């Protein structure tokens, strides 16, 4: 007997309310709509593929460039990365221009890389230096080249520009890369068996930190292991969050305010810069007690294809963002990260089930590694994710204003560029009424963000001094109406 869906809404979709609705709901659509696919599809010829190619993208870690070439796949494209013996970095198309042998079996040479099959030698820019089997008068060297992309190394990451040569931007250097003095950037990668977007969205989906990273474990789990999957020191509070478009609509931030005692409020700010850059503030419990600390992690979520992506990034180590030295440089590297277990795919299934982390939550959204947006049922806590998608779509379609950060980078003053990522703790006595107190927490967050914005026009040397001075002035003086008593 043919099955029939009895209850449909007026627009023909299946009703999603009620009880024991499994029989009908199994027939819900499993494909994304075009406006979602616009962000999810990253293959050749798609708008997202071109968007990613307008920015420098990490393609591997420096430690992966050894005496043999490194095969990488980025943006659906097979490439080979290497550092020749003179120290130059090359990122080339993987198939040899001669007759297609993979250069992952090539020989890293003094200058460039030599194909193993007939010995064509390519410089890092793809020009042919030698064709040893050809007669001396051969003009092949002048008429053929290997596809190549500009590349450089910085603090253990290998970046490449995969876009048109005439739109190659400068690499943007943000404050957190160089400040505070003594900052050490430690590279890492983190491979996800899913579409790039759901990993990227996780960074703006801050409510999950109070749930997923708060001992969401079944009974009987080893306590030390469970603790390793959970943040501590204020994270257990559900935050008061506000999201805001930044940089002309080319990014989004959230401010997350939490009351951490009867007298203190902790304001955390994280940000995304489109298409795939992000920064997080502190990953240590000290975040909820220190006056003002900045960046703990920078990352780029790079598509491999539509069901695999890699987070490449830096963990930022300095005494300011992690004075108790909770982080561990040695635990960062290729598909390894030092905070919160549950970030990578390298765990036994039983442990994944008992102590799920970001990896399990993110990669299992949707079917086959791709979240199905139209099957989601978003609530108020999802406003940031939906804002993010909308802003990203507008930026992709060219509707955002020119990114002022990028314009400043191109102007190249030699100074690093401001961002908002930070943790701030201010003295703000609790109000008796819970709703009024939440309002006060939000106003505190607004004030902190306003202070950071005030400092944007200053030099990097002046920015931090200005912010700390203003926070000192404000501390303890916030009132329910949002004014300070200065
Ligand atoms: S296939 Fe590479 S040199 Fe012939
Ligand atoms: Fe998380």
Give the pLDDT band (50/70/90) at residue 28.
Answer: confident
Pocket test for ligand 1, best of 80, 99, 122 (most atoms within 8 A of CB): 99
pLDDT in tens, 155-164: 999 999 999 9
| Predicted confidence band of residue 4 (pLDDT cuts 50, 70, 90) | low
180 vs 215, which has greater pLDDT? 180
pLDDT digits (tens, 9 = 90+) for 96-152: 999 999 999 999 999 999 999 999 999 999 999 999 999 999 999 999 999 999 999
Q: Which of 14-28, 80-94, 196-210 has the lowest mean pLDDT?
A: 14-28
381 CA → ligand 2 middle, Å:
15
Among all ligands shown, which has an atom nearest to the Cα of 116?
A: 1
Residue among 118, 126, 128, 145 to mutate when testing ligand 1 (max atoms within 8 A of CB): 118
Q: Cα(213) to centroid of ligand 2, in Å?
A: 7
**pLDDT at residue 233, rounded to an integer:** 66
Please state the atom number of ligand 1 nearest to the C-alpha of residue 100.
Answer: 1
Contacts of 380 (CB under 8 A, 6+ apart): none
Higher model confidence: residue 323 or residue 229?
A: 323
Eight-class DSSP state of 291 = S
Q: Which atom of ligand 1 is nearest to the CA of 119?
A: 3
Place 485 in a pLDDT band, splitting at 50, 70 and 90: very low
Work out the average pLDDT over 187-210. 96
Ligand 1 atom 4 nearest Cα = 118
Q: What is the pLDDT of residues 301-342, one digit of tens each?
A: 999 999 999 999 999 999 999 999 999 999 999 999 998 889
Can you tell me which atom of ligand 1 is nearest the CA of 118? 3
CB 274 within 8 A of CB 325: no
How confident is the model over 219-248, as a mean pLDDT? 78
Q: What is the mean pLDDT of residues 240-259?
A: 96
- Measure 8 CA to ligand 2 centroid, in angstroms: 36
Cα-trace Rg, the chain: 25
How many angstroms is it from 463 CA to the middle of ligand 1? Answer: 54
Is the separation of the CB atoms in 310 and 191 below 8 Å? yes
User: Cis before residue 352, ω within 30 degrees of 0?
Assistant: no
Query: What tens digit of pLDDT does each residue of 430-456 get?
Result: 999 999 999 999 999 999 999 999 999
Which ligand has an atom closest to residue 94 CA?
A: 1
Place 226 in a pLDDT band, splitting at 50, 70 and 90: low
* Ligand 1 pocket, Cβ-based, cut-off 6 angstroms: 96, 98-101, 115, 117-120
The residues facing 186 across adjacent strands are 315
Ligand nearest to the CA of 96: 1
Classify residue 150 by burial, with Cβ atoms within 10 Å: 0-12, 13-18, 19+. middle
Which atom in ligand 1 lies closest to the alpha carbon of residue 120? 3
Per-residue pLDDT for 229 more than 70?
no
Q: Distance between CA 98 and CA 95 in Å, rounded?
A: 9
| pLDDT, mean of residues 20-33 | 87
- What percentage of the chain exceeds 90 in pLDDT? 79
Which is more confidently placed, 367 or 377?
Answer: 377
Residue 13 reports pLDDT greater than 50: yes
CA atoms 388, 209, 332, 365: torsion sign: negative
Give, using CA atoms, the residue closest to atom 1 of ligand 1.
Answer: 99
For residues 378 and 332, give the distance between their C-alpha atoms in angstroms, rounded to a whole number: 34
Give residue 1's pLDDT band: very low, low, confident or very high (50, 70, 90).
very low
Over residues 50-65, mean pLDDT: 98
The arithmetic mean of pLDDT across residues 151-175, rounded, is: 97
For residue 412, the model assigns a pLDDT of 86
Q: What is the mean pLDDT of residues 43-57?
A: 98
Check residue 227 and give its pLDDT: 67
Q: Which residue has the tokens 């990896």?
A: 359
**Strand, helix or coil at 211?**
coil
**Residues contacting residue 126 through CB under 8 Å, at least 6 positions apart:** 92, 93, 145, 146, 147, 148
pLDDT at 231 over 80: no
- State the distance from the centre of ligand 1 to the C-alpha of 93, rounded, in angstroms: 13
Distance 165 CA to ligand 1 centre (A): 26
The closest ligand to the CA of 114 turns out to be 1
Instruction: Tell me which ligand sits closest to the C-alpha of residue 311.
Output: 2
pLDDT of residue 285: 86
Using the predicted structure, report yes or no on whether residue 238 has a pLDDT greater than 90: no
Distance 106 CA to ligand 1 centre (A): 9
pLDDT mean across residues, the chain: 92
- Please report the pLDDT score of residue 339 as a whole number: 86
Ligand 1 atom closest to 131 (CA): 3
pLDDT tens profile 268-299: 999 999 999 999 999 888 888 899 999 999 99
Distance 162 CA to ligand 1 centre (A): 23
């Amino acid at each position: 007997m043919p099955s029939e869906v009895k209850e449909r809404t007026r627009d023909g979709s299946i009703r999603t309310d009620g009880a024991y609705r499994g029989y009908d709901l199994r027939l819900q659509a499993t494909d994304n709509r075009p406006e979602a696919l616009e962000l999810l599809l990253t293959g050749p010829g798609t708008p997202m593929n071109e968007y990613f190619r307008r920015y420098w993208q990490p393609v591997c870690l420096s430690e992966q460039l050894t005496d043999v070439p490194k095969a990488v796949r980025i943006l659906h494209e097979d490439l080979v990365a290497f550092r020749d013996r003179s120290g130059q970095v090359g990122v080339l198309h993987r198939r040899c221009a001669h007759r297609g042998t993979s250069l992952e079996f090539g020989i890293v040479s003094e200058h460039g890389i030599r194909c193993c099959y007939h010995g064509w030698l390519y410089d890092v820019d793809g020009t042919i230096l030698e064709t040893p089997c050809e007669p001396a008068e051969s003009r092949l060297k002048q008429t053929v080249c290997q596809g190549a992309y500009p590349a450089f190394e910085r603090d253990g990451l290998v970046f490449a520009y995969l876009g048109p040569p005439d739109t190659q931007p400068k690499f943007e250097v943000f404050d957190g890369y160089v400040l505070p003095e003594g900052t050490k950037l430690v590279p890492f990668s983190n491979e996800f068996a899913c579409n790039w977007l759901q990993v990227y969205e996780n960074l703006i989906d801050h409510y999950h930190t109070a749930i997923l990273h708060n001992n969401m474990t079944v009974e009987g789990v080893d306590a030390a292991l469970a603790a390793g999957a959970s943040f501590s020191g204020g994270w257990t509070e559900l935050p008061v969050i506000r999201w805001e478009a930044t940089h002309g609509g080319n990014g989004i931030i959230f401010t997350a305010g939490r009351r951490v005692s009867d007298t203190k409020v902790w304001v955390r700010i994280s940000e995304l810069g489109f298409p795939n850059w992000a920064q997080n503030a502190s990953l240590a419990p000290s975040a909820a007690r220190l006056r003002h600390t900045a960046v703990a992690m920078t990352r780029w979520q790079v598509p491999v294809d539509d069901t695999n992506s890699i987070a490449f990034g830096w963990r930022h180590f300095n005494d300011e963002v992690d004075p108790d030295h909770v982080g561990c440089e040695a635990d960062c590297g290729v598909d390894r990260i030092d905070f919160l277990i549950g970030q990578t795919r390298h765990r036994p299934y039983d442990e994944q089930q008992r102590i799920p982390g970001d990896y399990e939550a993110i990669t299992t959204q949707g079917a086959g590694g791709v979240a199905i947006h139209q099957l989601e049922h978003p609530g108020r806590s999802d406003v940031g994710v939906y804002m993010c998608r909308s802003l990203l779509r507008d930026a992709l379609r060219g509707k955002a204003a020119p990114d002022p950060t990028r314009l400043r980078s191109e102007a190249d003053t030699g100074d690093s560029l401001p961002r908002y990522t930070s943790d701030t703790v201010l003295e703000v006595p609790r109000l008796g009424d819970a709703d009024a107190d939440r309002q006060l927490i939000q106003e505190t967050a607004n004030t902190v963000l306003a202070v950071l914005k005030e400092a944007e026009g200053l030099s990097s040397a002046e920015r931090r001094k200005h912010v700390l001075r203003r926070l000192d002035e404000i501390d303890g003086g916030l009132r329910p109406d949002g004014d300070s008593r200065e």
